[in-house]
Amino acid sequence: MEPDWPDDPELELAARRFRLEREEDQHELESMEEEERDRVLDLPFALLELQWRGDRVRVITPDRQFEGTVVHVGDDFLSVMTAPDTYVDARTDQVSGFVVTQRSRDGGRAKLVRDPKRFIARVREVVDSVHVQCEFGARGGVRVSGRVLRVHADHVAIRSNEGSEWLLPLHSLHYMVRNERRETRR
């Protein structure tokens, strides 16, 4: 295709500069799009990918480690099944790290509408349940096992297995282990 102007060196030079600037702008735009994609791929999304694949992970909290299959990712926590009927709900802002220990080839679990979005909602699910035994881990190496009595806006009330009532601030909790085994009567 011939240019619309006669052989004018100044116009040809201007056209070359324009093409170079357009290429630079295109490169800059592509770079900005790539940076934006990287921002979208944050930790919650990376954890969702583990859930969708059904990967086994090691969840490292300040005082314990748990290994299991990712079964749920909420806004501020994830759940791993460590054994049949046993789940660990770990607050993602209290976890030191995650290690993928086994990639699944079978596929994982889709995100379900009924799954809770927040850690506090997960804790509320087990209030007063005689069938769910819980262990909470909190800052300072605190571990309390028992039943959840109440969940308030800023703390959880727990009846420990020893009979004491504990009040644990929500902001200090690292994880909750739920054992949902149901006892059968003979």
Predicted confidence (pLDDT) at residue 98 exceeds the cutoff of 90: yes
Sketch the domain layout of the chain as residue ranges.
Answer: 43-179
Residue by residue, DSSP assigns 98-146 as EEEEE--SS---PPPTTS-SSHHHHHHTTTT-TT-EEEEEEGGGEEEEE
Q: What CATH number labels 43-179? A: 2.30.30.600
Whole-angstrom Cα distance, residue 12 to residue 106? 60
Encode pLDDT of 24-62 as tens digits: 878 888 777 777 766 667 888 889 888 988 889 999 999
Residue 149: pLDDT band (50, 70, 90) is: very high
pLDDT score of 185: 43
pLDDT score of 128: 67
pTM: 0.74
Amino acid at 167: L
Predicted confidence (pLDDT) at residue 166 exceeds the cutoff of 60: yes
Average pLDDT, the chain: 86
